[in-house]
Structure 1
Amino acid sequence: MGTRYRDYTSDDMMKVSRFLSHAHSQLNRPSSWTIARFEFEIFFYQLRAGLLPEWEQNIGLWERDNGELAAVVCRDGDFYFQLDTDHPQEELLCEMLEFIEAKSAPAAVKLAVPKGMSKLEELVQGRGYVHLPNESDNIISITLEKDFPVNIPVGFLLQCGEEVSDQAKAQGHIMAFNYPGTAHAEQMLRLYGGIRQAPGYRPDLDLSLVNEQGEVVAFCNAFVDEVNRIGILEPVGTHVDYRLRGLGQAVIYEALNRLRFLGMVKGYTGPMQPFYQRIGFQMDVEFEVWQKD
């Protein structure tokens, strides 16, 4: 069955989301992005910032003759390949690379290539890309075969959904990723809350730990892919002044327990950090970054 390219439109959002879920079911792992990363990109920032039309121009779709998606290209800094097979046709991969290269200046073209996809590696090398050994990306996972211990220290309260204001959540995000006083922080305070518009958003999985002053000191939002019985944590963070107190572990474990109660069997997030490894996550999918020379 052949494939043909067409432009992405906003009406394709759910079609792409379903394809990402389908790809996971075919591969028994994420192809590249999860449905959470796709929805997060759209609703967390791009839509409210007025940047969605520009961002959508970097999405390419390839459909089979029956109208079903065969492949998708998305961009989050680097370009990512969304495929439902580990052995795609070379012609399709070449078309995806041509689309990517048409969207960027040569020195700005960077690709996240799944480790072990040898055909794609051969093609990018042949087109003049070089591997960047100091750059990478990955997806990590944890099985939900048992309940996780949730120990919330005295003086902190677990809240979810609209129990926490957008301003408090925005400030929590700013302090978790340590960018106070920046232009980006000003934008975050103004725009935070768009994630509630995402189709996969659930207030009961939007968790925050707050201190006695009402400040968000740790947070974890989770999406659900019911087809694959998986949960995806996005975003996750802990205030820089409240680390090493068990707060991040507590809010993550609470999210994982809620996902398990909903029937999910595995949780995903990323990229890997020593903290995630300590609390039980393992490497699942790795990507190498290549840049046009």
Structure 2
Amino acid sequence: MKDLGPTELRLMQGLAQQVTALRPELLNADATVGELAWGWGKDVDALSQFWRHRLWFVDGRLAAWAWVYLPYRVPRGDGKFLEVEAANLIWQVHPDRPELLTEILDWYDDVAGDVDRLLTVQDADVQARASVAAHGYAFDAETGSDNGSWVQLNVRELADLPDPVPPTGFRFLVAEDVSVADAVKAHRDAWYPSSLTEAAFERVRRTWPYRADLHVLIEAPDGTLAATAIVWLDDVTRTAEFEPVGTHREFRRRGLGTALQLYGMRRARAAGAHRMLVACLGAPAHPAARNMYYGVGFRQLSRDLPQIKVARTREDSVGRSAR
């Protein structure tokens, strides 16, 4: 199977555009136009050896795709390692072709091997929930708990936007105003211990639909880039999304996130967007980002229902231990 490259990614984003236009409540937060661009661009060089993908075509048009992350261990920015022991599936089907999820799940079983398998379905996707249950998946009670790491997708119409007002002495910038090194440092400071490199960011910049004029930042009085966000604009559906959004850990709780979002949404609207998407942790125990987004007018569009299928070998081991 050939690597997941820019051509395949663009096809996958095209299906995301169709779902956005037809049934946005079915969008997986990992499968939006912007999230696909960001995830592929920053990780393709470091993680592609752990990726598997497949595309399904009907009458010559992409109707479904699947992207699997196999278990991996990679260095983090703090010198430690990020170790992932389960396989994870990101997927999307055209709303008119829900039956293709069964083929995706069969293929996932084949490529994942003898490890636990993870995926998510959307709370509104009744057919997908039934399909994964029939395939042996169960709700992941740990990840999906009130203290878990499940994600919700939020939406905001852009017709009415307050003026963005940064704190005194701070000013708005866009990526065109700063060097690649400084843009990368802004991200790493906000998302420590991020391992984003200049080479990875250069790949992001070459990935559709990145635009430097929609990559917004806030500069502190001392010159530090204190907040950063990338806005991805799909001019077909006139939908834009934030991914990622972050504030330097030494500049939090000063209203920078709110100001930056309003500034980014203003620029997105001027570029033609009618609505905005952003994903965040949804569990009640993790309210910070959700409250910030709600504070600027976002509301929940959908939420992930994380699913797990325990590997047969581990099931056998658990059974023997119980006896």
TM class by shorter chain equals: 0.7 to 0.9
Q: In the comparison of the two structures, how many residue pairs are matched? A: 276
Amino acid at match of 2:176: E
Match of 1:37 in 2: 35
User: Aligned pair in 2 of structure 1 residues 226, 190: CA closer, same or farther (>3 Å)?
Assistant: closer
Residue in structure 2 matching 1:82, options 79, 86, 92: 92
- Write the distance in 2 (CA, Å) between the matches of 1:95 and 1:8: 20
Match of 2:251 in 1: 242
Match of 2:284 in 1: none
Q: Deviations over 1:14-35 (max 9, x none)?
A: 2222121122212145622211
**Residue 73 of structure 1 contacts residue 81 of structure 1 at CA under 8 Å; is this kept in 2?**
yes
How far the C-alpha of 1:251 sits from its partner, in A, is 1.1
Amino acid at match of 1:264: A
User: Aligned pair in 2 of structure 1 residues 71, 121: CA closer, same or farther (>3 Å)?
Assistant: same
**Residue 24 of structure 1 contacts residue 84 of structure 1 at CA under 8 Å; is this kept in 2?**
no
Match of 1:97 in 2: 105
Give the alignment of 1:152-171 within 5 angstroms.
Answer: 152-171=166-185
- Write the distance in 2 (CA, Å) between the matches of 1:169 and 1:130: 41
Match of 1:22 in 2: 18
User: Aligned pair in 2 of structure 1 residues 23, 282: CA closer, same or farther (>3 Å)?
Assistant: same
- Write the distance in 2 (CA, Å) between the matches of 1:178 and 1:166: 18
Match of 2:217 in 1: 208
User: Aligned pair in 2 of structure 1 residues 84, 97: CA closer, same or farther (>3 Å)?
Assistant: same
User: Aligned pair in 2 of structure 1 residues 9, 190: CA closer, same or farther (>3 Å)?
Assistant: closer
Amino acid at match of 1:194: R
User: Aligned pair in 2 of structure 1 residues 262, 289: CA closer, same or farther (>3 Å)?
Assistant: same
RMSD: 2.3
Q: Deviations over 1:147-199 (max 9, x none)?
A: 322111122221112322222222222222232xxxx54x5366443321112
- SS of aligned partner of 1:271: strand
**Residue 26 of structure 2 contacts residue 124 of structure 2 at CA under 8 Å; is this kept in 1?**
no
Match of 1:126 in 2: 134
- Write the distance in 2 (CA, Å) between the matches of 1:9 and 1:69: 15
- Write the distance in 2 (CA, Å) between the matches of 1:279 and 1:253: 7
User: Aligned pair in 2 of structure 1 residues 13, 124: CA closer, same or farther (>3 Å)?
Assistant: closer
Match of 2:190 in 1: 176
The answer as to 2:85 corresponding to 1:71 is no
* Deviating more after overlay: 207-216 vs 26-35: 26-35
* Deviating more after overlay: 248-257 vs 134-143: 134-143
Amino acid at match of 1:62: W
Calculate the TM-score normalised by the size of structure 2.
0.78
- SS of aligned partner of 2:209: coil
Match of 1:275 in 2: 292
**Residue 26 of structure 1 contacts residue 84 of structure 1 at CA under 8 Å; is this kept in 2?**
no
Calculate the TM-score normalised by the size of structure 1.
0.85
User: Aligned pair in 2 of structure 1 residues 23, 287: CA closer, same or farther (>3 Å)?
Assistant: same
Residue in structure 2 matching 1:232, options 241, 246, 251: 241
The gaps in structure 1 that reach 5 residues or longer are 1-5
Amino acid at match of 2:224: E
**Residue 7 of structure 1 contacts residue 61 of structure 1 at CA under 8 Å; is this kept in 2?**
no
Amino acid at match of 1:99: W
User: Aligned pair in 2 of structure 1 residues 292, 230: CA closer, same or farther (>3 Å)?
Assistant: same
Match of 1:290 in 2: 307
- SS of aligned partner of 1:58: strand
Match of 2:320 in 1: none
Which runs of at least 4 in structure 1 moved beyond 3 Å after TM superposition? 6-9, 75-78, 187-193
